[in-house]
Amino acid sequence: MKQQRIFPGFILIGFGLYFYLQQKNIVLFQEFFTWPTLLMIVGIAFLGQGYGARDYEAILPGTILVGFGLHFHVVNKLEIWPDHMGTFILIISLGFLLRYQKTRNGLFQGILFLTLSVILLFYDKVVGYLGLIEGQVGSAWEFWPIVIIVIGVYLLFIRKK
């Protein structure tokens, strides 16, 4: 039987610390009194449930929430941190891959999202290096959303297991 007390325990401890530190107005933590911190607290609770109670399905939402919260905290503080759609897809792929590590389920989705995020994050640089901005690859790039839609339709309606 899975331990159901870990998730609410982490939520209560995390929110309690958050509001206590906010109430005491400690200058050291002033920049963390924002909604991304609340996302991270809920994500850490999911990860605690996932790893602590061996409820491995909670790893995916935990990774996504912690990753999104971390992203929103550091995006304007670190110049090397990408502020790009590919970053969000990379975080989602990390969640699928971490869940796969424990459940052996979701590897295809993890690799698919990882590939998509790498393409989105580095496409401009790769194309710039290769000098293929104008040409066949440039015009083919316009159709990538259609390729994603086709893959989704295939997974939903055609592929049966």
What is residue 154's DSSP assignment? I
Which sign does the torsion angle of CA 71, 75, 78, 80 carry? positive
Q: What percent of the chain has pLDDT over 70?
A: 86
- Helix, strand or coil for residue 29? helix
Give the model confidence (pLDDT) of 29-66 as tens digits: 778 888 999 999 999 999 999 998 888 999 999 999 99
C-alpha span between 155 and 158 (Å, rounded): 6
End-to-end C-alpha distance for the chain, whole angstroms: 29
Tell me how far CA of residue 156 lies from CA of 38, 149, 159, in angstroms: 34, 11, 7
Q: Which of 79, 47, 54, 76 is nearest to 1 (CA)?
A: 54
Contact 73, 41 (CB under 8 A): no
pLDDT number for residue 42: 94
Alpha carbon of residue 123 to chain centroid: 20
Q: Which of 109, 44, 120, 111 is nearest to 82 (CA)?
A: 120
Contact 112, 96 (CB under 8 A): no
C-alpha span between 109 and 53 (Å, rounded): 24
Angle (deg, nearest 10), helices 107-130 and 144-153: 170
Residue 103 has which token pair?
């459940």
**Residues of the chain scoring pLDDT < 70:** 1-3, 126-141, 159-161
pLDDT number for residue 22: 86
